[in-house]
A = this chain, B = another copy of it.
Amino acid sequence: MSTVKQPPDPESDARVKAVFDDIRATRKTDFVNNLWRTLAYDPALLERTWAEVKQLMTAPSHLDPLTKELIYIAVSIANACSYCVHSHTAAARAKGMSDAQHAELLAIVALAAKTNQLANGLQLAVDPVFDAANPFQA
């Protein structure tokens, strides 16, 4: 049940086909998941979204690929995005996440949410030493 109809033959649109081909080549699989199949209803949105995901999540960078997926899952849990939790948990497993690492990720996300509530409930003043412009941090 979705708010838009998946195009029945999305790859008949050349722009969509180009994106799907790039997804398959980048991920080394024939499988294209529902996010992309549905975004095909607007080729421009599909192109921009895939370009950004590809650049940030697959190009070599300052964080390793698994760490990036763990961060992605953490945000998706906090935002209650069911689809994203599923798709990125699968992606993290494909990049080597063990059951023990998954359980630890959930425990840390849960702990962070817990202390977030405490700090918001107490309305704590930020310690001046945490200010990045503070000379004490130099």
Contacts and interface: CB of A to CB of B under 8 A. Distances in A.
A26 to B, nearest CB: 16
A75 B122 contact: no
Contacts of A137: 90, 93
Number of copies: 6
Contacts of A84: 112, 115-116, 119
Given A109-B75, A112-B72, A1 B118 contact: no
A5 B57 CA distance: 26
A3 interface: yes
A27 B102 CA distance: 26
Contacts of A78: 74-75, 78-79, 117
